[in-house]
Amino acid sequence: MSTYEARLSALREQMAKDDLHGFVVPICDEHMSEYVGDYAQRLAWLTGFGGSAGSAVVLKDKAAIFIDGRYTIQVRDQVDGKLYEYVGTADQSIVDWLGDNAAQGSTIGYDAWLHTQDWAKAAAARLDKAGAKLVAVKVNPIDQVWEDQPEASLAKLDIQPDEFAGKSSADKRADIATWLKKEGLDATVIAALDSVAWAFNIRGEDIANTPVPRGYAIVKADGSAELFVAPEKLTDDVRVHLGNAVGLRSYDEFPAALNEYKDQKVGVDPERSVAAIFGQLEQAGATIVKKRDPTILAKAIKNETEVNGHKAAQERDGAALSQFLHWFSQEALSGGHDELSVAAKLAEFRGQSDKLQDLSFRTISGAGPNGALCHYSVNEETNRKIEDGTLYLVDSGGQYRDGTTDVTRTMAVGQPTAEMIKRYTQVLQGHIALAKAVFPKGTTGGQLDILARQYLWADGVDYAHGTGHGVGAYLSVHEGPQRIAANSGFLEPLVAGMICSNEPGYYKTDAFGIRIENLILVEERQIAGAEQEMLAFETLTFAPLDRRLIDVDMLSTVQRQWVDDYHAKVLAVVAPQLEGAALAWLRLQCAAL
């Protein structure tokens, strides 16, 4: 019996003890985080799936794993198809699958600390139609059978100084209090980890690559607040930083603390707060008002200090990446490198800066066919050699005190094929179209997404991921509420001060992957004679493109000029930080097309 077969069997045995006929297993924690601590990696432990988004449903006689288009190939490599049915979320939702597969009279369990209230209501309604029922478990059955489950991190909290934050924690809480009074609320629950970190100007080490502490907060209309974190995580400096207006309570006290809001109006974000929070407040007799976490938009619109810090981080990061690209150009054909060693070399170049705190996510290092896996995560089993005649895709970033970076470059190893050059150039054309976009105030990312896809669409191809996501300020590398994506649900208007990624791509299964990613800042654009407020993007990332993959004849005059202007800026920013052979290489790479 394989490891994962044994784990699945153990879960089913525990389900039987708990009188459950099924159980839902998401990648999630109590804060609806995208990336979670080791203790919360329940789906990976159960199935072997290493992606950052997915869920499984285990019934008595069958099981399924649900993934989006980014992981269609990866899930087949990592999860045993004899144990789990593969289901694309675009084809069927978990709720509908449960309704179709749960036996009449069955009881399906879920952990209310790992799902939203809206999901739970939808699942309960669908199961009711099927003659089954959904119940919240008191103890997660996986936690009962996962014998060596890691403990939650107790890493000390850290202070994010005002010189990087640009605004004090007291001022941020005062803004939240003003919002609460305007909305007629007594308090609001802040459950998202990056929201807690931003509101209190604190950081942590509880999740790999994301500098957030594990905690909850409740902010009140009088400007006071309570912060719920493990006592072991606090230092005297942090206590002084937070001040007397912030009450400090244990993380484990949070559920009981919600009982104190009887007859009070409490704002709760339905997208970022789990079902258990709603249940606890309802049980306490509080009046729940569904409102978006008031830090979300404020956090996304970077202040001047954050913008300047981000630009400084990008300049530093661009130099590290350019040194790596030079190194790769010299070493790629040596035959002695693979995905893991190359990723380690890139981390080494970044680590030469004493301002680097961490990587901003696990580096996506994809050689040849592995580059076609959008969110590929290399390990010892999948590790491929860097080989002649292939493409190498590297998506990486750094966490610096003054900014978070995220950049993707695709490089030819040896002589690229005509198909590789054509697709790379089409991706570049889409990248340029988005980078040059000028649009009226109120425009959403969804309205701009087509700009990046048009050249691929014209050839009958596409990519199965969004074109852009928000980025935090020494926080989450993926930050909302803005996105640049085709899904009509992304209706958040872009606002000056927001930082997004610009990352169109193309992926040919079992062959190669291409992605070009820079970060872009939304800025006001003054246009003579304009009759409305206009916005545009400033490109923030500085690293050369692979000239060997650009078909200059496919580019328009305007597109060629964009590339030349971009490379001129890269040279101006990065060259003063390089010397010797790396500097000479950079000058050649940044020469006019």
For 410-434, the pLDDT digits (tens) are: 999 999 999 999 999 999 999 999 9
Residue 153 included in any domain: no
Are 280 and 364 found together in one domain? no
Q: Is the separation of the CB atoms in 92 and 64 below 8 Å?
A: no
Phi (first) and psi of residue 460, to 5 degrees: 80, 20
DSSP letters spanning 239-289:
HHHH-TTEEEE-GGGHHHHGGGGTT-EEEE-TTTSBHHHHHHHHHHT-EEE
Which domain-ending residue is among 145, 173, 203? 145
Residue 580: predicted pLDDT: 97
Are 126 and 195 found together in one domain? no
Angle at 516 between CA 297 and CA 518, to 5 degrees: 40
Domain range spanning residue 32? 3-145
pTM: 0.93
Alpha-carbon distance of 479 to 495, in angstroms, equals 14
Alpha-carbon distance of 302 to 474, in angstroms, equals 11
- Of 94, 83, 109, 105, nearest in space to 17 by CA: 109
Residue 489: predicted pLDDT: 62
Residue 381: predicted pLDDT: 82
Are 119 and 208 found together in one domain? no
* CA dihedral sign, ordered 97, 28, 483, 173: positive
Residue 1: predicted pLDDT: 75
Residue 488: predicted pLDDT: 57
Residue 151 included in any domain: no
Alpha-carbon distance of 192 to 280, in angstroms, equals 17
* CA dihedral sign, ordered 209, 213, 214, 218: negative
211 in helix, strand or coil? coil
Are 294 and 342 found together in one domain? no
Are 105 and 172 found together in one domain? no
Any idea what the CATH number is for the domain that residue 38 is in?
Answer: 3.40.350.10
Are 512 and 564 found together in one domain? yes
Are 439 and 453 found together in one domain? yes
pLDDT-flagged residues of the chain (< 50) = none
Number of domains forming the structure of the chain: 3
Per-residue buried b or exposed e for 311-346, using 16+ beta carbons within 10 Å of the residue's own CB: bebbbbbbbbbbbbbbbbbeebeeeebbbbebbebb
Which tens digit of pLDDT belongs to each residue from 236-285? 999 999 999 999 999 999 999 999 999 999 999 999 999 999 999 999 99
Residue 152 included in any domain: no
Residue 421 included in any domain: yes
Alpha-carbon distance of 478 to 201, in angstroms, equals 19
Are 320 and 294 found together in one domain? no
Are 164 and 282 found together in one domain? yes
Are 221 and 286 found together in one domain? yes
Residue 72: predicted pLDDT: 80
Are 86 and 175 found together in one domain? no
Residue 375: predicted pLDDT: 80
DSSP conformation class of 72: H
Are 418 and 556 found together in one domain? yes
Which domain-ending residue is among 256, 273, 299? 299
Angle at 299 between CA 238 and CA 26, to 5 degrees: 90
Tokens at 254, concatenated:
């949070």
Alpha-carbon distance of 585 to 280, in angstroms, equals 61
Sort strands 225-228 and 216-220 into parallel, antiparallel or unpaired.
antiparallel
Which domain-ending residue is among 121, 145, 169? 145
Residue 76: predicted pLDDT: 86
Angle at 124 between CA 123 and CA 126, to 5 degrees: 65
427 in helix, strand or coil? helix
Residue 168: predicted pLDDT: 97
Q: Is the separation of the CB atoms in 397 and 360 below 8 Å?
A: yes
